[in-house]
Amino acid sequence: MGPHINRVGDLTICVEHPASPKGKPPVLLIHGMFGGAWYWKKYQAYLAQCGYESHAINLRGHHDSRPVGDIGKVSLEDYVADALEVAAVLKNPIVMGHSMGGLIAQKVAEAGKCCATVLIASAPPRWIPVASWLLLRKQAKHARALIFSEALMPDRDDADILIFNRTPLADRNQFFSQMVAESGYAGLQLSFGAIAVDESRVNAPVLVMAGLDDKLVVPRVARALARKYSSPILEYRSFAHHIMTEPGWEGPCADAVEWMDRVARG
């Protein structure tokens, strides 16, 4: 049927309906830093083929969604509030989060507002350090934006190294052009593990997915998340951070759908 833009309040949501609905729960897709609903396009088409209605949120301050006075000062708690608002409308969806969106998805699960959670290259909560030597070196140039809650934007070289290192060169210009400024405050919260998640309150099943060539959220983070939630983990040797758009993306997406079908049946 093709995607269309919907609104929940002043949040913009990219919605795709299956041609043949099969009574499956809706899927809420949550993007990461600098991102937007745009990078879920292939996953949404695949989900529709498999009978899932999907809703890819643009978090506040991203792609004409909920206006903010100063993107640099938006908090992770603000983003969690956005996701919870949409989850409430969808009534107990499956939530799938990437990178920062994975941490937001964990908070939705902690609140008991989803029936299953898929974490893709997910940022971790408190007590699971995200830092690596490469990430620390790249973050140094953004210290001012992080400390003073200013708008944050990676340069192209850093994006290629940390985010698009498995993305074909022909696609990188297009993807980078769609990235938007992010909150320095949210970046600081992520860097220092400011957001805790009580795993005892996460009662819905969790799946962790990771690329073994991820330079931004390294594989040990995914393994720690799997231990935290006593969840299965799927690791992919030929993938990095932007799993949803990298060559062969259909494989991990199919694995996620197979798991979703299994847990949705109970």
Q: What is the CATH number of the domain that holds 100?
A: 3.40.50.1820
Q: Is the pLDDT of residue 262 over 80?
A: yes
Whole-structure pTM value: 0.96
Provide the mean pLDDT of the chain.
Answer: 94
Count of domains for the chain:
1
Bridge partners (DSSP) listed for residue 106: none
Contacts of 59 (CB under 8 A, 6+ apart): 11, 30, 31, 65, 66, 79, 82, 83, 104
Q: What residue numbers bound the domain in which 164 lies? A: 4-264
Q: What is the mean pLDDT of residues 13-21?
A: 92
Q: What is the pLDDT of residue 133?
A: 62
> What average pLDDT score do residues 127-132 get?
83
> For residues 224 and 233, is the Cβ–Cβ distance under 8 A?
no
Question: 160-179 pLDDT, tens per residue?
Answer: 999 999 999 989 999 999 99
pLDDT tens for 200-248 read 999 999 999 999 999 999 999 999 999 999 999 999 999 999 999 999 9
pLDDT at 22: 80
Please state, for a pLDDT cut of 70, what percent of the chain lies above it. 98
**Res 1 pLDDT > 90:** no
Phi, psi of 114 (to 5 degrees): -145, 160
Per-residue confidence (pLDDT) for residue 266, from 0 to 100: 64
SS3 string of the chain?
Answer: CCCEEEEECCEEEEEECCCCCCCCCCEEEECCCCCCHHHHHHHHHHHHHCCCCEEEEECCCCCCCCCCCCHHHCCHHHHHHHHHHHHHHHCCCEEEEECHHHHHHHHHHHCCCCCEEEEECCCCCCCCCCCCHHHHHHHHHHHHHHHCCCEECCCHHHHHHHCCCCCCHHHHHHHHHHCCCEEHHHHHHHHCCCCCCCHHHCCCCEEEEEECCCCCCCHHHHHHHHHHHCCCEEEECCCCCCCCCCCCCHHHHHHHHHHHHHHHCC
